[in-house]
């Protein structure tokens, strides 16, 4: 099958909107590959923090991004041969990722890596610019959104569940700062892609959100 005919579902949205969980489950239900594009920025951030790379040095950060040795195995994310699934979820890594994602050279360095995930039988890609920049011709584009309060609560439960201490007040401030950075950056700002279905998830369970995405996909004439 030519690459251009391989089905793509993009699921974009702000931090903690539930896009990762929804994308993962949709990919499982359809037997598709899964691309967590945010993890690529987090992996770059983790590499930079570990190497004490100057976080203002766009060229050095882009070089790190370009030579990332990473892979996704089920729910595990590997950097080289090391499982860094938990390490990249630390708040300092997330905040660093959000900052370095404003650099055009870093975003450019990761484009090829992201496009490489388009393999048969299909891919579900989640991130902030999957439908607007990376896969603009995807047959199904979804934009998940939720209130800052709902997202902070989700992130809080997620962190506490992993034994990581967190303060709701700090999470709210972090999410608002990230939203501002993501929506106002000059390159690939966080916006619903043209033709995207917007799904408000503040009062939806993950299962309900997954069901809606699968319905939209089935309406295109695909079975699941």
* Measured distance CA(124)–CA(56) in Å, rounded: 32
CA distances from 195 to 51, 117, 172, 190 (A): 41, 22, 30, 15
Residue 16 labelled as part of a binding site: yes
Residue 80 labelled as part of a binding site: no
Residue 20 labelled as part of a binding site: yes
Closest CA to 187 of 136, 128, 118, 141: 128
Residue 201 labelled as part of a binding site: no
Residue 62 labelled as part of a binding site: no
Structure tokens at 141: 């584009």
Residue 21 labelled as part of a binding site: yes
Are 15 and 89 in contact by the 8 Å Cβ rule? The answer is no
Structure tokens at 222: 């695909």
CA distances from 119 to 3, 34, 127, 201 (A): 7, 10, 18, 29
Residue 94 labelled as part of a binding site: no
* Binding-site annotation: residue ranges: 13-21
* Binding-site annotation: residue ranges for ATP: 13-21
């Amino acid at each position: 099958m030519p690459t251009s005919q391989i089905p793509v579902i993009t699921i974009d949205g702000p931090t903690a909107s539930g896009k990762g969980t929804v994308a993962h489950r949709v990919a499982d239900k359809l037997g598709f590959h899964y691309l967590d594009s945010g993890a690529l920025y987090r992996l770059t951030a983790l590499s930079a923090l570990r190497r004490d790379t100057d976080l203002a040095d766009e060229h050095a950060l882009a070089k790190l991004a370009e030579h990332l040795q990473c892979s996704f195995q089920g729910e595990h994310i590997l950097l080289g041969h090391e499982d860094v699934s938990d390490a990249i979820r630390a708040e300092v890594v997330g905040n660093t990722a959000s900052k370095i994602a404003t650099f055009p050279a870093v975003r450019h360095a990761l484009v090829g890596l992201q496009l490489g995930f388009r393999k048969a039988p299909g891919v579900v890609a989640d991130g902030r610019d999957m439908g607007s920049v990376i896969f603009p011709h995807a047959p199904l584009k979804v934009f998940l959104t939720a209130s800052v309060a709902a997202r902070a609560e989700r992130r809080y439960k997620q962190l506490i569940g992993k034994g990581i201490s967190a303060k709701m007040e700090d999470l709210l401030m972090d999410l608002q700062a990230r939203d501002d950075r993501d929506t106002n950056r000059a390159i690939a700002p966080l916006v619903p892609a043209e033709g995207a279905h917007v799904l408000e998830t503040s009062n939806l369970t993950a299962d309900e959100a997954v069901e809606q995405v699968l319905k939209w996909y089935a309406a295109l004439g695909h079975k699941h």
